[in-house]
Amino acid sequence: MVFKSKKIAKMADNMAAQGMGKSHSLWSDARRRFFKNKAAVVSLIILSLIIIFAFAAPYFTPWNNEEIDWAILGSVAQDGKPSFTTKHYFGADPLGRDLFARVAQGSQISLMVGIIGAGIAVIVGTLYGAIAGYFGGRLDNIMMRLVDILMSIPYMFVLILLLVVFGRSIEMLFVGLGLISWLDMSRIVRGQTMVLRNKEFIEAAIAGGLNRFTIITRHIIPNLLGIVIVYASLLVPLMILTESFISFLGLGVQEPNTSWGALISEGAGQVLYGTLWQLGFPLFFFVTALFSFFFIGDGLRDALDPKDR
């Protein structure tokens, strides 16, 4: 009995020690849940590989994305096949340029477009929505009606017009994407802010004498981040899709730069000549990246879902 009671006391000590163990933030809980989601983790690894490829690949090939291989020009369909002997690992494009280097360069552009586009949406949309939602009343009305107006404009039309009028440049593409991408975000954030505003801890913060700016930045926005991150992770592929569509039309990224959309467009035009690799490689990267983004977004949503807390 003595032996046993000692053991129990020890167990109790252990439990007490564990009880006051490491502190877990809601973020660390979410991280743990995210890493339990196999599809999301696999997607994260694949996406990381794609990003590494985009930035590291140029160091593994003697060709760059602008150089034309004069040896195969004119007979790309026969001699431009993917091969290690010619060092065109992904083959060559219709102009005899190395597809491996071009896919890497296109990946850089596409990922950048996706991330910067979503980034603008996150920063502008979150602040805009949080301010509108927190202050409410007339300010909210004016701000949200402005969003309604911007949303009612057919953005693809405006984007194409912008690119035609101000010249086709990647900067213009960013401006165009940035102009439209934050609208949905601001609406989501505003709705969420209105819910948060009536929470007691916001009332407590007001009663504590904090000014409105501090309340928004310190108390509202951290509580919004879950939703913002999930939405942003779904916005990245959307931005990539939009850019690809614009580039597919020939208005987006300009030569010698390229993007997944531009490469796919180029490859699709050559399919009839039997140069399937020109479509296949960019398409593979495009589809894999989009799938990864969606699975990661899905994993994040499950991990950050407030219902699980």
Partner 1 sequence: MSIFEVKGLSVNFTTINGEVKAVNNVSFNIAKGETVAIVGESGSGKSQTVLAALGLLAENGHATGSVKFEGQELLGLEIKNLNKIRGNKISMVFQDPMTSLNPFLRISDQMVEVLTLHKGMNKKAATAEAIRMLDAVRLPDASQVITRFPHELSGGMRQRVMIAIALSCEPQILIADEPTTALDVTVQAQMLELFKGLTKDFGTSLILITHDLGVVAGIADRMMVMYAGKMVEKGNVDETFYSPKNPYTFGLLHSTPHIDDPEKRLEPIDGLPPSLENLPSGCAFHPRCAYSMERCLIEEPKLIVEKNGRSNACFYKGKLGDKESSE
Nearest to 231 by CA among 129, 121, 156: 121
User: Which tokens go with 283?
Assistant: 């398409």
The answer to the question of residue 207 lying near partner 1 (CB under 8 A) is yes
The answer to the question of residue 211 lying near partner 1 (CB under 8 A) is yes
The answer to the question of residue 25 lying near partner 1 (CB under 8 A) is yes
**Cα(241)–Cα(255) distance, integer angstroms:** 19
Residues 217-246 interacting with partner 1 (rule: CB under 8 A): 218-219, 222-223, 225
CA 146 and chain centroid, separation: 26
DSSP 91: -
* Stretch in the footprint of partner 1 (CB under 8 A) among 3-11, 165-173, 206-214, 269-277: 206-214
Buried b (16+ CB within 10 A) or exposed e, 167-183: ebebebbbebbbbbbbb
Q: Nearest distance from residue 246's CB to partner 1, in Å?
A: 38
Q: Nearest distance from residue 142's CB to partner 1, in Å?
A: 16
Return the number of the residue (34 or 293) whose C-beta is nearest partner 1: 34
| One of 6, 7, 10, 24 touching partner 1 (CB under 8 A) | 24
| One of 138, 149, 171, 209 touching partner 1 (CB under 8 A) | 209
The answer to the question of residue 112 lying near partner 1 (CB under 8 A) is no
| One of 23, 85, 149, 157 touching partner 1 (CB under 8 A) | 23
| One of 2, 15, 17, 20 touching partner 1 (CB under 8 A) | 20
* Stretch in the footprint of partner 1 (CB under 8 A) among 3-11, 77-85, 210-218, 285-293: 210-218
How many residues are present in the chain?
309
CA-atom Rg of the chain in angstroms: 26
The answer to the question of residue 203 lying near partner 1 (CB under 8 A) is yes
Residues 28-87 interacting with partner 1 (rule: CB under 8 A): none
Show contacts of 63-67: CB within 8 Å, 24+ apart. Answer: 63/87, 63/88, 63/97, 63/98, 63/100, 63/101, 64/98, 64/101, 65/97, 65/98, 65/101, 65/102, 65/104, 65/105, 65/256, 65/257, 65/258, 66/97, 66/256, 67/97, 67/98, 67/101
User: Which tokens go with 123?
Assistant: 């920063």
Q: Nearest distance from residue 202's CB to partner 1, in Å?
A: 8
Cβ within 8 Å of residue 50, ≥6 positions away: 107, 111, 285, 288, 289, 292
Q: Nearest distance from residue 226's CB to partner 1, in Å?
A: 9
CA atoms within 13 A on the CB side of 224: 34
* Stretch in the footprint of partner 1 (CB under 8 A) among 84-92, 117-125, 195-203, 282-290: 195-203
Return the number of the residue (26 or 39) whose C-beta is nearest partner 1: 26
Site size toward partner 1 (CB under 8 A) is: 28
Q: ∠ CA 118-187-137 to the nearest 5 degrees?
A: 140
Q: One symbol per residue from 267 to 306: x for binding partner 1 (CB under 8 A), - otherwise; what is it?
A: ----------------------------------------
| One of 6, 10, 36, 212 touching partner 1 (CB under 8 A) | 212
Q: Is 25 left (phi over 0), alpha (psi -120 to 50) or beta?
A: beta
The residues binding partner 1 (CB under 8 A) are: 20, 23-27, 136-137, 199-201, 203-212, 214, 218-219, 222-223, 225, 309
